[in-house]
Amino acid sequence: MVGNLSVGRRCRPLMCFSLIAALSTSFAGSVALANAQLMSEVDTQAATEVSYANFQEWLQQFRQYAADQGISEATLSDALDGVRYRERVIELDSFQPEFVRPIWEYLDTAVSSTRINTGREKLAEHRDTALQMQQRFGVPAEIIVAIWGIESNYGSNFGDFSTLESLATLAYDGRRRDFARGELLAALRIIDEGDIAAEQMKGSWAGAMGHTQFIPSSFEAYAVDGDGDGRRDIWGSIPDVMASTANYLDRAGWQTGQPWGVEVRLPEGFDYAQTERRSTAEWRSQGVQAQQGELPDFDSAAIVIPAGADGPAFLVGANFRAILRYNNATSYALAVATLGDAIAGRDGIQHGWPRDQEPLTRDDVQELQRALNRAGYSVGGADGVMGPNTRQGLRNFQRDQGLIPDGFATQALLERLRSRFQ
């Protein structure tokens, strides 16, 4: 199949390899993707596009580039001989779900009773290791275990794709080819340094690897030898997995001794359009109260309302932002935070979710974005993703309509926008 791919593909020549600094949240769905600070090797005068007849021709050019970057011939042979183009990877890369999944449905699965109980069992089984990493990096043991649970269901499902085949396929034919090429080169460096054998480098279709789903550049930057054997093995060594995960969060700005945040009650007349971070004292002066107990003392915190004014609200600080560095999605960070709380025996979310709200499809979101743009609320391109620009435009529309400006998209709001152009 590989050798018979006859349709030429367009990509930049490897001798002017474009390596970019990237923080990805969409490349692999909910897998952990970190800041990949990749040094540019671009020769701008040579950055014209060239065609490759097939995958094998592209792979041969990449192999020469990797050799020029210092990858040993032994590693190139072990890693790239027999690497196949995987059509399934491109299918998954191109997949766009019809519905935008509500956060409560995501949390129902991510923080299920089974996952909570398994997390407690895993923490008990590896308590000494988890507490050692907690002491070393300042990240609570239950948060380390929670990320493990969210990322791979405690190692039961971290993927069986060859990382090399996935990244090579994406670099040749994916949506983010430069990014994938940089990650493929990083994967070769990892093998060259002896951390893992090529045939054991397994993970998701998108190139995220091991128990807590590091992409190769994140592995290079943050993986840690936790068991002292001289290798960083996030596939087979739980001490290495926990040390690497805790090191990542520590480097992302985890504040030892602080909680991630707390569920709060917002006062009557609260201004939902506020997006600034404020100190706890400032939020308290507005009438914000903890659902239970006292508000944590944050120097800089935000109010998060992931399901709008009818859903629960949270005051979140630096540690919530550190989790977001692992995967920049509010639903992901809230899943890790609340799963960690549950594993540790703390109470879960008290306020109910607006489960009667019918989710918007991607087509609905695109229509919403186009309607907001036509109405003068500029939100950028209609990509079907409820990003910050879309939410801000929606808040402005809600405010002008005399509605609560919470930025939460509903079918009722879409219908109101439709009616303006009928």
DSSP string, 23-44: --SSTTTTS----B-PPP---G
Residue 30 covered by a domain: no
Sign of CA dihedral 340, 343, 349, 355: positive
Q: Please return the burial class of 140, using the count of CB atoms within 10 Å of its CB with bins 0-12, 13-18 and 19+.
A: buried
Q: Which residue has the higher pLDDT, 335 or 24?
A: 335
| Mean pLDDT value across the chain | 88
Given this model, what pLDDT does residue 35 score?
Answer: 36
Residue 372 covered by a domain: yes
Average pLDDT of span 331-337: 97
* Whole-angstrom distance, CA of residue 226 vs CA of residue 243: 5
Residue 69 covered by a domain: yes
Share of the chain above pLDDT 90, in %: 82
Do both 265 and 404 map to the same domain? no
Q: Out of 142, 151, 165, 220, which one is annotated catalytic?
A: 151
Given this model, what pLDDT does residue 47 score?
Answer: 33
Q: Are the CB atoms for 183 and 36 separated by under 8 Å?
A: yes
pLDDT band for 7, please (50, 70, 90 cuts).
very low
Q: Please return the burial class of 342, using the count of CB atoms within 10 Å of its CB with bins 0-12, 13-18 and 19+.
A: buried
* Whole-angstrom distance, CA of residue 4 vs CA of residue 277: 55
CATH number at residue 384: 1.10.101
User: Does residue 422 have a pLDDT over 80?
Assistant: no
Domain interval for residue 294: 261-316
pLDDT band for 421, please (50, 70, 90 cuts).
confident
Q: Which residue has the higher pLDDT, 39 or 119?
A: 119
What proportions of the chain, in percent to the nearest 5, are helix, strand and coil?
45, 10, 45
CA distances from 108 to 116, 201, 266 (A): 11, 31, 24
Do both 164 and 309 map to the same domain? no
pLDDT digits (tens, 9 = 90+) for 162-200: 999 999 999 999 999 999 999 999 999 999 999 999 999
Q: 399 by DSSP, 3-state: which?
A: helix
Do both 304 and 415 map to the same domain? no
Residue 129 covered by a domain: no
Strands 289-290 and 50-52 turn out to be unpaired
pTM above 0.75, yes or no: yes
DSSP β-bridge partners for residue 265: 289
pLDDT digits (tens, 9 = 90+) for 352-403: 999 999 989 999 999 999 999 999 999 999 999 899 999 999 999 999 999 9
CA-derived radius of gyration, the chain: 23
Given this model, what pLDDT does residue 275 score?
Answer: 87
Given this model, what pLDDT does residue 189 score?
Answer: 98
Q: Which residue has the higher pLDDT, 258 or 21?
A: 258
DSSP classification of residue 9:
E
Least confident piece of the model among 97-111, 156-170, 302-316: 97-111
DSSP β-bridge partners for residue 51: 10
Catalytic annotation present for 199: no
Given this model, what pLDDT does residue 73 score?
Answer: 97
pLDDT digits (tens, 9 = 90+) for 36-75: 333 333 332 233 355 788 999 999 999 999 999 999 999 9
Do both 59 and 187 map to the same domain? yes
Q: 302 by DSSP, 3-state: which?
A: strand
CA distances from 178 to 2, 16, 77, 219, 274 (A): 21, 11, 23, 18, 37
Do both 270 and 409 map to the same domain? no
Least confident piece of the model among 71-80, 126-135, 138-147, 355-364: 355-364
Count of structural domains, the chain? 3
Q: What is the largest CA-CA distance in the chain?
A: 68
Residue 30: half-sphere exposure toward Cβ, Cα within 13 Å? 21
Do both 85 and 200 map to the same domain? yes
Strands 302-304 and 9-11 turn out to be unpaired
- Burial pattern 278-297, b for ≥16 Cβ within 10 A else e, equals bebeebbeeebbeeeeebbe
Do both 68 and 167 map to the same domain? yes
Do both 182 and 69 map to the same domain? yes
Looking at 228, 252, 275, the residue that finishes a domain is 228
CATH number at residue 182: 1.10.8.350
Given this model, what pLDDT does residue 211 score?
Answer: 97
Do both 272 and 377 map to the same domain? no
Do both 207 and 79 map to the same domain? yes
pLDDT digits (tens, 9 = 90+) for 225-246: 999 999 999 999 999 999 999 9
pLDDT digits (tens, 9 = 90+) for 200-232: 999 999 999 999 999 999 999 999 999 999 999
Sign of CA dihedral 317, 226, 79, 5: negative
203's enclosing H/E stretch is strand 202-203
Residue 195 covered by a domain: yes
Share of the chain above pLDDT 70, in %: 88
pLDDT band for 153, please (50, 70, 90 cuts).
very high
Given this model, what pLDDT does residue 420 score?
Answer: 85
Residue 91 covered by a domain: yes
Residue 328 covered by a domain: no
- Single-letter amino acid code for the residue at 328: N
* Whole-angstrom distance, CA of residue 300 vs CA of residue 151: 28
Do both 192 and 67 map to the same domain? yes
* Whole-angstrom distance, CA of residue 223 vs CA of residue 201: 14
- Residue 232, token pair as written in the block: 């960083």
Given this model, what pLDDT does residue 50 score?
Answer: 58
Q: Which residue has the higher pLDDT, 151 or 32?
A: 151
Do both 64 and 206 map to the same domain? yes
Q: Are the CB atoms for 19 and 35 separated by under 8 Å?
A: no
pLDDT band for 26, please (50, 70, 90 cuts).
very low
Given this model, what pLDDT does residue 63 score?
Answer: 97
Q: Are the CB atoms for 35 and 327 separated by under 8 Å?
A: no
CA 250 to chain centre: 17
Residue 8 covered by a domain: no
User: Does residue 12 have a pLDDT over 70?
Assistant: no
Tally Cβ neighbours within 10 Å of residue 415: 9
